[in-house]
Amino acid sequence: MQIGVYLDRHLVFPLLEFLQVKGVHPEAEILEAKIQLLQKTNMVDFAMDIYKSLHATEEVRTGAHPLLRDGA
């Protein structure tokens, strides 16, 4: 059962942090889930940091976050 769809994004994020620390799922899956979670927020800097960590890069492509696509 997926309860995350019924929770606020700000409540799901700590759950993902917990799973990441515990190593329950592969790190890449958790980071991808965090990026998907943050795409509908204004937390652009945080999303960029996670993207950089996931893709082992210092560059973030423009379409990585909806706000970046809009030119913000």
In angstroms, the Cα distances linking 35 to 52, 53, 60 are 11, 11, 12
72 pLDDT band, cuts 50/70/90, is: very low
For residue 72, give both structure tokens: 């913000």
Tokens 């059962």 sit on residue: 1
40 has pLDDT over 90: no
64 has pLDDT over 60: no
30 pLDDT band, cuts 50/70/90, is: very high
The verdict on pTM exceeding 0.75 is no
- pLDDT of the residue at 29: 92
71 pLDDT band, cuts 50/70/90, is: very low
